Structure 1
Amino acid sequence: MRLAFSTLGVPGAPLDDVLRAATRSGFHGVELRAHPEEPVHPGLDHRERAQVAERFADAGVELLCVAGYPKMAARGDDAPVLAEVSALLQLAHDLGAPYARVFPGGDTDPGEADVIAVRRLTHAAGIAEELGVRVLLETHDSHRTGADAARVLDAVDRPGVGALWDVLHTWRGGEEPQRSCELLAPHLGYVQVKDVPSRQDTTPLPPGEGVLPLAEVVEVVTRSADARTPAHGLGTGVEWLCWEYEKRWYPEVRELTGLLPGVRAHLMELLADAA
């Protein structure tokens, strides 16, 4: 299993700095926040996109995902949401990323939110499949547990749509890692890990310094990846663990470059123990 880290919490970080941090610390990939305030976003032109892809290739670092903010279960017109998703998927394709991340964002009753999300994700699936990428629904906000996300993903059941398992939110939703993995396994793209002091205090900590059951998560994911054939024949099981670094929303946390070596060492230890 390979390791990535996320730039979701490093606002405006120059791409060369991100790639240098990845290569120096031994991470294999990067999850990029695709927002207009960041260096990489859907507003880039063709030449700029080609330059980003070339810089990743030259660094020997994989671009795992472009993480956007379309809200697939939110009330309102479908058209602007689908336009946002389409632009995000095109960006992923042009940069060579296999995944584009979206949120649920439901703001109505769960039944109605599920219907909206299924409709939009089914449409997005067609775009994703034509481009050869996948749109991943993160376990977050209105659909934070594996059970919540699986209701939608089971109904969509398309190769272009999958799940991004954010372990903090399933855990805060009261779901055990084994159960989350069972529900999400047929759809799982990759797993996003982090750590926190408690269910009430979500100030980010480096993995291993908080209370999240990360060892159990890694164990069940490793066992699931070894035992199953992925849905729709995509890939060879879950290949990535991605550490989400969130300094943007918690400015008091330590700097990324100083944390990366220790985070990598801890995740590698968890992987070795689960093997």
Structure 2
Amino acid sequence: MKLAFSTLGVPGMPMADVARLAAGAGYHGVELRAHPEEPVHPGIGADERARVVAEFRDAGVEILTVAGYVRAAEAGPDEPVLAGLRELLELAHDLGARYVRVFPGGGEQSPEEADATAARRLAAAAPRAADLGVRLLLETHDSHRTGADAARILGLVGHGGVGAIWDVMHTWLGGEDPATSYPALFPHLGYVQVKDIASAEDTTPLPLGEGVLPLTECVELLSREGWDGWLCWEYEKRWYPRARELPELLAPGREHLLRLLTDSA
């Protein structure tokens, strides 16, 4: 498996520094948080996009994902959501990223309504994603926290250009164990987001292996099933400013994941 981390853990860091940090800590790739408060987002121009590509290429680090904030199931008209998806897909294509991350965001709608809305929009965007060589990934999150929740939408989409991110915290918070999440998500799985927290009540990010999330079980399951994709550490420093700084944790976190992989081999 290949290892990445999210720039959510290093908010505002210049991309050249992110690329050097990833290379120095032995990570293969980076998930870029695509928000206007970050250096990379859909509003940057062609020259800046090319500069980011060069910085990561020179460091030998892959841009894995453009992590956007479009909510596929949110209430309202389709066009603003579709426009947001198109912008993210173009950005990912220009950066050479494999994936675009989207959220469900169904809010207070019924599950049936939210499922249908998200599926309709993702299906509409899927051909453009395929044309650009980018895959849209729906993260297990908010209104669709479990693998079963996300799989309902993805089953309705039925297009290879749309898949899933398995966020192990959200499936756990949703009461779903890894042995249930994996088979639900496997037909659609793009990659797995790993993290650790103290408890369901305290989701402050912790170094990998110091919290309660079933990381060992997840990695053992993925290894046993022969899954050979990406593990991406999403350390949510942006939302928890008092959490420890991610750069000092990256190398130990990598070693922890490698130990889990070695022990499960």
Q: TM-score range by the shorter chain?
A: over 0.9
Greater alpha carbon shift after TM alignment, 42-51 vs 98-107: 42-51
Q: CA-to-partner distance for each residue in 1:220-264, whole Å, 9 max, x for gaps?
A: 12223x2xxxxxxxxxx5410000011110011111111111100
User: Which residue is 1:265 aligned to?
Assistant: 255
Q: Which amino acid aligns with 1:140?
A: H
User: Which residue is 1:229 aligned to?
Assistant: none
In the superposition, the TM-score normalised over structure 2's length comes to 0.98
Q: In 2, are the aligned partners of 1:190 and 1:238 still within 8 Å (CA)? A: no
Q: Note the 1:182-261 alignment, pairs <5 A.
A: 182-224=183-225, 226=226, 237-261=227-251
Q: Note the 1:60-209 alignment, pairs <5 A.
A: 60-107=60-107, 108-209=109-210
The alignment partner of 2:22 has SS state of helix
User: Which residue is 1:50 aligned to?
Assistant: 50
The alignment partner of 1:8 has SS state of helix
Q: Note the 1:12-31 alignment, pairs <5 A.
A: 12-31=12-31
Q: Aligned partners of 1:50, 1:33: CA distance in 2, in Å?
A: 17
Q: In 1, are the aligned partners of 2:16 and 2:56 still within 8 Å (CA)? A: no
Q: Aligned partners of 2:179, 2:7: CA distance in 1, in Å?
A: 28
In the superposition, the TM-score normalised over structure 1's length comes to 0.94
Q: Aligned partners of 2:231, 2:82: CA distance in 1, in Å?
A: 28
Q: CA-to-partner distance for each residue in 1:59-108, whole Å, 9 max, x for gaps?
A: 10000101000010111011001100100011101100000000000021
Q: Which amino acid aligns with 1:239?
A: G
Q: Aligned partners of 1:70, 1:9: CA distance in 2, in Å?
A: 20
Q: Aligned partners of 1:259, 1:75: CA distance in 2, in Å?
A: 39
- Count of aligned residue pairs for this structure pair: 264
Q: CA-to-partner distance for each residue in 1:32-65, whole Å, 9 max, x for gaps?
A: 0011111111111112111111111111000010
Q: Aligned partners of 1:16, 1:94: CA distance in 2, in Å?
A: 17
Q: Aligned partners of 1:104, 1:136: CA distance in 2, in Å?
A: 10
User: Which residue is 2:37 aligned to?
Assistant: 37
Q: Aligned partners of 1:175, 1:105: CA distance in 2, in Å?
A: 19
The alignment partner of 1:97 has SS state of coil
Q: Aligned partners of 1:85, 1:9: CA distance in 2, in Å?
A: 24
Residue 10 of structure 1 and its aligned partner are, at CA, apart by: 2.4
User: Which residue is 1:230 aligned to?
Assistant: none
Residue identity (%): 65
Q: In 1, are the aligned partners of 2:72 and 2:104 still within 8 Å (CA)? A: yes
Q: In 2, are the aligned partners of 1:145 and 1:180 still within 8 Å (CA)? A: yes
Q: Aligned partners of 1:223, 1:119: CA distance in 2, in Å?
A: 34
Greater alpha carbon shift after TM alignment, 152-161 vs 3-12: 3-12
Q: CA-to-partner distance for each residue in 1:137-171, whole Å, 9 max, x for gaps?
A: 00000000000000000111111100000000000
Q: Aligned partners of 2:123, 2:9: CA distance in 1, in Å?
A: 30
Q: Which amino acid aligns with 2:260?
A: L
Q: Aligned partners of 2:96, 2:239: CA distance in 1, in Å?
A: 28
Q: Aligned partners of 1:263, 1:79: CA distance in 2, in Å?
A: 41
Q: Aligned partners of 1:79, 1:260: CA distance in 2, in Å?
A: 39
The alignment partner of 2:130 has SS state of helix
Q: Aligned partners of 1:126, 1:105: CA distance in 2, in Å?
A: 22
The alignment partner of 1:253 has SS state of coil
Q: Aligned partners of 2:77, 2:224: CA distance in 1, in Å?
A: 41
Q: Aligned partners of 1:199, 1:37: CA distance in 2, in Å?
A: 28
- The alignment's C-alpha RMSD in Å is 0.9
Q: In 2, are the aligned partners of 1:189 and 1:238 still within 8 Å (CA)? A: no
The alignment partner of 1:122 has SS state of helix
Gaps of 5+ in 1: 227-236
User: Which residue is 2:3 aligned to?
Assistant: 3
